[in-house]
Amino acid sequence: MKAIALTLLALLCAATARADETRTNLAPDLSREIDAVVAAHIAEYRLPSLAIGIWMPGSGFYLSARGDANLETHEPRRLDQPFRIGSITKTMYGTVILQLADEGRLSVTDPIAKWFPGFPNAERITIDDLLRMRSGIPDSWTQELLQKYFAEPMMAVTAEDMIERAAKDVADFKPPGRATIYTNVNFVMLGHIMEVAGGAPAETQLRERVFKPLGMNATLVPSGPELPGGLRGYGWNAEVKKYDDKTELNPGPVGGAGAAISSIGDLYSFASALCTGRLLQPHTQAARMQSEPFAGTEADPGKPGPAFVRYGEAVGLLSRFCGHNGTIMGFSTEMFYLPSTGATFVINAARLDADDTSMSSGLFVKLAKLLFPGDVDW
């Protein structure tokens, strides 16, 4: 298996030699079908650029980078360029938290009062509640703040500020452990717990515990606003009818909920490790994959989510697929692995608008239905 993985990654590197071009060894008819779906999606969403990798053991691979990495210079996009991955960051932070549990440095049953004394419900909320989105903490990322962040990407807000904002909404807290409601501040808090329990900055622990062991050389948690590699992310400005460059931002307020940067090849390596438990003890991985359907959202907590969308410990289960997606200013990303076949999908679109609607999820859904119709029930 290791030899196969290395061969596929070598092919990925070779594919970066020519931009705006597809490299594949799939059957020609199937490649043309994928080409058509990808091209139609790019046209429908008017994407500045898109990169995609599909690996299907026993069938082959499909790799493509299309569009302009920079709309001003028209430099073509390359497959090796890093991009912001948004909420996929949660899976990485969650992995380190579970490694610390394997080492006895913390327990997922620990109440968060150990790290956040005086925080509302801190004696009742556990680390496991944070990991599973079952803390009952209201998200400090309100629609109003999200709009402000989109308009002012460098706004002076820190992770600590986000935690304090959540603590002030005491009246909106729900009992922990009862409902799965997606809340970003859970993972901002886990970032702090990781640093205290692990005795090192979050980015250092992620590098040593996850990125290096998996050969993820393009992945990092940035301390500043820049995105290395030359790729730009964009958001559509309807008032002036043009794209605004949304590449640079203050990563402080998103922290463990969405600050990381990665690449197509690195997420390919990480997806299988996440979903097979390569970096965890078997019993820890088994517990991680136990999941619950979403009870609702912060905007509408009373409306149940679809049964095929579930959440474990910092991992999403979408029908029979395992992984996560992520949106953050300028970028929309999908990373999913199909355990039954070992297939992996990684998709990044260099666009996210102020409404925070993913520009990549629809493409993953279409391709999953095309390639694995028996594993899709949505």
Phi, psi of 194 (to 5 degrees): -60, -45
Q: Outline where DSSP puts E strands in 307-354.
A: 309-311, 316-318, 321-328, 331-338, 343-349
Distances (CA, A) of 116 to 110, 123, 190: 12, 9, 11
Return the structure tokens found at 238: 């309807």
Phi, psi of 20 (to 5 degrees): 55, 40
Q: What is the pLDDT of residue 378?
A: 81
Tell me the per-residue pLDDT of 207-251, one tens digit each, with 9 for 90 and over: 999 999 999 999 999 999 999 999 999 999 999 999 999 999 999
Q: What is the pLDDT of residue 303?
A: 66
Q: Which segments of 199-235 does DSSP mark as H helices, in order? A: 202-206
Give the residue from 202, 203, 188, 201 showing the smallest Cα distance to 116.
188
Phi, psi of 312 (to 5 degrees): -105, -140
Distances (CA, A) of 22 to 16, 50, 324, 351: 10, 12, 25, 20
Return the structure tokens found at 168: 């002030």
User: Residue 77: helix, strand or coil by DSSP?
Assistant: coil
Q: What is the pLDDT of residue 299?
A: 55
Q: What is the pLDDT of residue 338?
A: 98
Report all structural domains of the chain as residue ranges with CATH numbers, in order of start: 2-375 (3.40.710.10)
| Tens digit of each residue's pLDDT, the chain (378 residues) | 333 343 444 444 443 333 467 899 999 999 999 999 999 999 999 999 999 999 999 999 999 999 999 999 999 999 999 999 999 999 999 999 999 999 999 999 999 999 999 999 999 999 999 999 999 999 988 888 999 999 999 999 999 999 999 999 899 999 999 999 999 999 999 999 999 999 999 999 999 999 999 999 999 999 999 999 999 999 999 999 999 999 999 999 999 999 999 999 999 999 999 999 999 999 999 999 999 999 865 556 566 778 889 999 999 999 999 999 999 999 999 999 999 999 999 999 999 999 999 999 999 999 999 999 999 888
Tell me the per-residue pLDDT of 182-219, one tens digit each, with 9 for 90 and over: 999 999 999 999 999 999 999 999 999 999 999 999 99
| DSSP-assigned letter for residue 87 | G
Amino acid at position 230, single letter: G
User: Residue 348: helix, strand or coil by DSSP?
Assistant: strand
Residue 260 Cα to chain centre, angstroms: 8
**What's the sign of the alpha-carbon dihedral 359, 362, 363, 364?**
positive
* Cα separation, 89 vs 187, whole angstroms: 9
**Which residue do the tokens 């999606």 mark?**
41
DSSP secondary structure string for all residues of 5-27 = HHHHHHHHHHHTTSSS-EEE-S-
Phi, psi of 269 (to 5 degrees): -65, -40
**Which residue do the tokens 């500020």 mark?**
161
